[in-house]
Amino acid sequence: MSYLTERERLTVSTMLSQMVRPIQWLLTVAEGDARSILCVDLAQELEACKPDLVQTSVRWQDTPPYSNVVHGEHREYYQQWVLADERGVAAGIYFLGLPTGYQFATLLNAMIDVSRSRVLVEPKTYLWCQRLTSPVDLLVMVTPTCPHSPRMVTLAERLALANRERIQTVIVDASTHPAWAEDLGVREVPWLRASSQAVLGPGLVVLGTVSERCLVEQLRAWQEYKLPEKRAGGADANF
């Protein structure tokens, strides 16, 4: 079954023409799950658009849904996309679920960034990322219909690419993981949480969209002073 229309396939091919080196998608999906099948269909169509630059590896798991630990939390989910470079080294960017709506473009842009080995952050941001001595996990809750979510997703992805050994970014569709979102107290998107085993407290929560400089300043303060969880409001939160 084709997930993309002919017009969408042409648009994707045009976007991916910016790629210069191969990338890999490492998918873990569940047998008998409809959305898992759609994930595989989509990944294979992306590969068909640029077969010399996009490779897909699929690992099927038995149902019921397999479990894994994400950001120290034990969660059950079906679909996991892991973006890796041509050597198979993970880029620190993970999608949970089927990337649809506004999130599909962020997936394509991440592929291009990894393929071109480009880090599109400000010099001060890059320096902060490189100086990290302990891992930082960024969890971004989004929905496919929120036009503001891609901005925060892209920012979190670029931070991961600035230091893939220390920064991990996981993008989760809150509409397909409502229980998880409810447990975290997510009432609006985009919703970003930074956490680290090296920092006391439950983490830093950022609501809505903020600039790169603003986010890094909050992350630096949270790390340096081990602040308790603070809810930092940003613009364009989707209630």
- Which tens digits make up the pLDDT trace of 68-100? 444 445 444 568 899 999 999 999 999 998 899
Tokens read off for 70:
């994400």
With residue 58 as reference, give the H or E element that holds it. Answer: strand 54-61
What does the pLDDT average to over 105-114? 96
Rounded CA separation 162/33 (Å) = 35
Over the stretch 190-217, which tens digit does the pLDDT of each residue have? 999 998 876 666 789 999 999 999 999 9
In the structure, what pLDDT confidence band is assigned to residue 34 with cuts at 50, 70 and 90? Answer: confident
Task: Provide, rounded to the nearest whole percent, the portion of the chain with pLDDT above 90.
Answer: 67
Rounded CA separation 34/25 (Å) = 19
Over the stretch 166-176, which tens digit does the pLDDT of each residue have? 999 999 999 88
User: Which pLDDT belongs to residue 198?
Assistant: 66
Yes or no: say if 152 and 194 are a contact pair by the CB < 8 Å rule. no
State the chain's mean pLDDT as an integer: 87
Burial of 134 (0-12, 13-18, 19+ CB in 10 A): exposed
Task: Provide, rounded to the nearest whole percent, the portion of the chain with pLDDT above 70.
Answer: 85
Q: Domains of the chain by range and CATH?
A: 6-233 (3.40.30.80)
Query: Hey, what amino acid is at 48?
Result: A
Q: Is the pTM of this model over 0.75?
A: yes
Burial of 170 (0-12, 13-18, 19+ CB in 10 A): buried
